[in-house]
Chain A
Amino acid sequence: MNKKELAAKLAKKTGLSQAKALEVINVIFSAEPREGIIAVELDAGRKVTIPGFGTFATKSRAARTGTNPATGAKISISAKKYAFFKPGKTLRERVSE
């Protein structure tokens, strides 16, 4: 299922227009700069917890020295944050059935 199909299903279930349904989904999930509720929270170092679905959080990766495999040159890779999703207990158990 992609975003457009999710918007169509949401519209059907709620009676919102498809455009409005897509707007709601974008308000929650956009990751454009300073947009998207979840992305902004994660960028600020906070977590987002949806009971029955899961938790969105960030983890850090330390800076490290890597090697360019083509040239063998050493390069420094800076520390990074990455988004991490942990499925909630209910979802995890139901997926594994």
Chain B
Amino acid sequence: MSADTLTKARLAERVHDSVGLSKKESAEIIDDVFDLMRGALLHDEKLKITGFGNWIVRDKAARRGRNPQTNDSIIIARRRVLSFKPSPVLRVALNAKE
């Protein structure tokens, strides 16, 4: 894993540092957090984490597309995709001038 990526293990360490749970507990709790979030999305629920962003599962209608390599016209079947919209707070945080 490259140094520019925060993994779950290091996320657990940070939670341990700031909340005062043991490292083992922190790791388990992080798994629980993301399991619960995934569960909500798979049950068709909108997921809203105030101050961070919202996730929503959207239905996409079937549409006509094109294979860019062969130019063949194809039908893209209707499908469901997960989209994420960052909150205004997060947008501002990423563009703050020091």
Contacts and interface: CB of A to CB of B under 8 A. Distances in A.
Chains A and B come from one and the same complex: yes
B49 A58 contact: no
A42 B32 contact: no
A85 B50 CA distance: 16
Contacts of A47: 4-6
Contacts of A16: 29
Interface residues of A, number: 49
Given A33-B93, A43-B93, A43-B94, A94 B42 contact: yes
A27 B49 CA distance: 12
B81 to A, nearest CB: 7
Q: Indicate the size class of the contact surface on chain B.
A: 35 or more
A1 interface: yes
Contacts of B55: 85
B76 interface: no
B90 interface: yes
B19 interface: yes
B95 A46 contact: no
